[in-house]
A and B are shown apart, each in its own frame.
Chain A
Amino acid sequence: MSTTGKVVAINGNMVSVKADGNVIMNEVGYILNGDKRLKAEVIRIRGEVAQLQVFEQTRGIGVGDEVNFSGEMLAVELGPGLLGQIYDGLQNPLPELAEKTGFFLERGVYLEALSRTKQWSFKPSVSIGDKVNAGDYLGVVPEGPYEHKVMVPFNLREEYIVKAVVSEGSYTVSEKIVEAEDSRGGKKSFTMFFEWPVKRPITLYEERLKPVEPMVSKVRLMDTFFPVAKGGTYCIPGPFGAGKTVLQQITSRHAEVDIVIIAACGERAGEVVETLKEFPELIDPKTGKSLMERTIIISNTSSMPVASREASVYTAVTLGEYYRQMGLDVLLLADSTSRWAQAMREMSGRLEEIPGEEAFPAYLESSIAAFYERAGIVRLNDGNIGSVTIGGTVSPAGGNFEEPVTQATLKVVGAFHGLSRERSDARKYPAIHPTESWSKYNGIMPVDHVKYAHDILARSGEIEAMMKVVGEEGTSLQDYIIFQKGEFLDVVYFQQNSFDPVDAAVTPERQKKVFAQILLLLATELNFGDKEEARRWFYQMRQKYLDYNGAEWRSDSFKNYEKEIADILQAKSLGTDKRAASILEDLKK
């Protein structure tokens, strides 16, 4: 007999319910309102009154309305059929909802996340007598470009002995595929899907490893200068209009991972639409199939209920962890974590908790840390490696990085890609600030090479600042050349033309090649008579590089440009910087 209760108070999307029995923290309850059942989650219990955040608009709820507690925490369905889906924050499939309710999201309509009628061709990998534990593979079904591993539900603590297995063939997700028995003779049957509560991390692995292998994004500035490792975390804070979402979209398209999960959390619906309409048309070069087949979209946009916005990032990361358990590399892109934090703030306010900075709850930092900590690269029980990488955008109020969400995020992430208003106003893409951003991961280039280039950039920035005061005429030729080198690096390497089919996504192989040439240029002492000559030379070089960047990898024109560039450089070379000797030695190898 499950617990029921009656509504006693309503304030915004928070409803207080007097319960007639036991209530579990974070369990799901349904408020009966007319013919609708409105989903809600218990977020505080005081005596016999439980406070629930409602995942819907609360208009029309009255004191005395009945509430049914489910006894289950907020959970998602895990099984074949997740890839290519578009869900809301509670894992309702949005296209199916549209079929049912039309243009608008009617409240109280919840659909099954996984189709119960679709047939999957299941191939068992266990046989009678095998012992299985939670997370062990029972068999595989093909899903999109991958072999989806069907697993023993993660919440089972016992060891089971397989007593019966279906033969290879087509089944729906709800059909029994394996029957098993625990040590006390308790019977259990498994289907291809099960549920898992979103707010609990999945920890069924042998060990967590250190993230070292770079996750290639094909954005030069990220891969070369501020790399992210598989299983790592990074954040992209930036004021509005600096290009956070564009950067995320490009990454979701080109990142070299198996699965991309896009969590559009409290942002514009229009931006999700572009992904929705374009991805099915785009081909993933790695698998040869449509990009949509490796993508899951969790879309809880800004006008959708706030409580499910809070849930949406957990839904997304849980799906990520599920695919990680199959030995796949997953990238979760959360846009924007600030909206998620604001959802927490709204709830905290309704609960009348003592506010922290800018009225965010005191547990803001620990919640953000706990979320990012769900990223990681792990060695699974069968020895395979799987990873979840998390990249979250942050939308700081007023573009000021000192605010609580940005600061709490910076404490826990491994890389910081700060977007700057100046760079985006100057139409520099990506607008990642090259001197303020940082990364703790190793990238595709040796550290000292990157540092050499970065030092020149920093020096160039200083000289530029000085030139603003003393003018060009007060700057020495030596300094002026360094300034031009920094500018050059910015224009031809940091900036990328996202509309150019070649320049939009640069492979690590190409990055290494081009970066080596740029290092050579940076390390070369150049012979110029005056500043005007230097400027013209750099403009010429810049133009060549821009054409070179647009040339197909290893095409004839690519090679021609390469040769021209080398000749132009050679003509003005006076030798090389001694401090770069070891780097140039490396490059020769």
Chain B
Amino acid sequence: MSKVYSKIESIAGNVIIVKADGVRYGDLAQITTSFGTSLAEVIKLDNELVSLQVFAGSRGISTGDEVRFLGKSMQISYSESLLGRVFNGSGEPRDKGPRLSENLISIGGPSFNPAKRIIPRNMVRTGIPMIDLFNTLVESQKLPIFSISGEPYNEVLARIALQAEVDLIILGGMGLKYDDYLYFKETLEDGGALSRSILFIHTAADPVVESLMVPDISLAVAEKFALDGRKVLVLLTDMTNFADAMKEIAITQEQVPSNRGYPGDLYSQLASRYEKAVDIEGAGSITILAVTTMPGDDVTHPVPDNTGYITEGQYYLRNGRIEPFGSLSRLKQQVNDRTREDHRPLMDGMIKIYAAYKEALEKQSMGFQMTEWDEKLIKYGELFEKEMMDLTVNIPLEEALDNGWKILSACFEKEETGLRSSLIEKFWPADSLKSKAGQE
């Protein structure tokens, strides 16, 4: 099955057409050009005409170049030797390590049987109060980070990667700036986490088509490790680049676009990746965090919009902080009743007061008269932003809860907090920041 064809019928975009027989849908082929070899995937069959999507792009391909069908679909090696390694979107090593070819597994495998799913039950600790306390990340959850270009989303991802209590981190980079790739690599190395990480990196300089493979490869490997009992955290950045690559292919394939040029199956395509997140009874789990940049900060843009319908909540990253409004972890209710008794009430209570602070701030900026209560709110809001929202704050949940009480006690009288008296009795700090503030 290694028949070689040396006549390419047509080349359009990154898709070439050759006449061949015995080819199967989804098979791989190798194209040898004067620039080197590239993999290509069969994306359409029409009688003897075979359409191939060339991973390295079609630039420089001659109609006389050789196409050799490999008789198999995209596969990736799965073994412990993947750990600590960096690969590109075709699964080729990006570091100086050896090529891996043992124990090949298929990518883009079948869907998990809904009847075998279980209700998620474990919290993933990240050390970020805005996540741990207010929108707890749960094992097997799929969550995007909605943000605009320029926000420190990759820094947030790297921090979560370093601190999350997981067995394995898989980073899938799509259209990543080279600097960002190096940043990830160095951060993981410095944090001592590279040895439990696998990186599949497509940089902005690489051919667009290769980025399409990154989520599938990352998730196929994650799935195998999860089945072997590992808790896997998959970080994907940036899914908007992935969607844009799909758009590019769809348009060159002359598919009818549905919304702003994106193909009609955008939802299904994204969902089939995100739905790989799972907690497997008696084995491991896959948790997915995926950066989705919003062009023009527009959440109704097709990519964030479709993502929001698929994922279990979202984190909004704005002005370098995770926004308390709009951010939502749909699964937090499954775990935050088992952390500490004041977790839920504090979570709701503090956000309610923060909302009141925002109103007071508005009042202030409009030049309305400020009451004593408004002043208290302003003080609270500033403390909240400094102690809770600032991304440099790095503390365990329990400390964050204690800090919450400290902030409240520094700004308010007990009954002004709207929290239940029994909780206040138990957790209200004896020596509050307020008395200290009074001394200053």
A residues adjacent to B (C-beta < 8 A): 8-12, 16, 57-64, 86, 94-95, 97-98, 101-107, 239-241, 264, 266, 268-270, 272-274, 276-277, 299, 301-304, 306, 339, 342-343, 345-346, 348-349, 352, 355, 358-360, 395, 397-400, 425
Contacts and interface: CB of A to CB of B under 8 A. Distances in A.
Given A241-B313, A301-B114, A358-B259, 8 more contacts: A62-B25, A63-B21, A64-B22, A104-B109, A239-B308, A303-B274, A397-B306, A398-B305
Nearest to A350: B255
Given A94-B113, A104-B110, A342 B73 contact: no
A233 B175 CA distance: 46
B115 to A, nearest CB: 4
Nearest to A94: B115
A339 B267 contact: yes
B45 A398 contact: no
B112 to A, nearest CB: 6
B119 A94 contact: no
Given A240-B309, A303-B272, A397-B302, A359 B257 contact: yes
Given A63-B21, A104-B113, A397 B45 contact: no
Interface in B327-350: 328, 330-331
A9 B45 contact: yes
B122 to A, nearest CB: 14
B264 A349 contact: yes
B104 interface: no
Contacts of B310: 268, 302
B312 A103 contact: no
Given A11-B44, A63-B21, A276-B115, A306 B26 contact: no
A11 B17 CA distance: 14
Interface in B24-60: 24-26, 44-48
B268 to A, nearest CB: 5
Given A268-B275, A302-B310, A359-B258, A107 B110 contact: yes
Contact of A60 (B24, B264, B302, B326): B24
B114 A269 contact: yes
B229 to A, nearest CB: 13
9 contacts: A270-B312, A273-B117, A273-B119, A276-B114, A302-B275, A303-B276, A306-B265, A342-B265, A359-B264
Contact of B113 (A97, A241, A343): A97
A276 B115 CA distance: 8
A220 to B, nearest CB: 23
Interface of B: 21-26, 44-48, 73, 108-120, 227, 255-259, 263-265, 267-268, 271-272, 274-276, 280, 299-302, 305-306, 308-310, 312-313, 325-326, 328, 330-331
A245 B119 CA distance: 16
Contact of B111 (A10, A105, A241, A343): A105
B110 A272 contact: no
A358 B261 CA distance: 10
B47 A9 contact: yes
Contacts of B306: 397
Given A269-B275, A301-B275, A8 B44 contact: no
A299 B114 CA distance: 8
Contacts of B118: 273, 277
* Chain A interface main SS type: mixed
Contacts of B264: 342, 345-346, 348-349, 359
A347 to B, nearest CB: 9
A103 B119 CA distance: 15
Contacts of B301: 398
B113 A59 contact: no
Given A61-B24, A346-B268, A397 B308 contact: no
A398 B302 CA distance: 7
B328 A241 contact: yes
A105 B312 CA distance: 22
Contacts of A107: 110
Nearest to A274: B119
A239 B309 CA distance: 8
Contacts of A8: 46-47
B45 A268 contact: no
Contacts of A98: 113, 115-116
Contacts of B119: 273-274, 277
Nearest to A34: B24
Contact of B108 (A59, A306, A343): A59
B44 A425 contact: no
B47 A58 contact: no
Contacts of B326: 425
Contacts of A268: 275, 310, 312
Contacts of A360: 258
Q: Which of B112, B263, B328 has the most CB of A within 10 A?
A: B112
A95 B259 CA distance: 37
A61 B25 contact: yes
B47 A63 contact: yes
Contacts of A104: 109-113
A62 B309 contact: no
A339 B309 CA distance: 10
Contacts of B258: 345, 349, 358-360
A268 B306 CA distance: 12
B290 to A, nearest CB: 15
Contacts of A86: 114-115
Given A10-B44, A95-B115, A301-B275, A395 B22 contact: no
A94 B259 contact: no
Contacts of A306: 265, 268
A342 B268 CA distance: 9
Nearest to B331: A270
A264 B46 CA distance: 34
A58 B110 contact: no
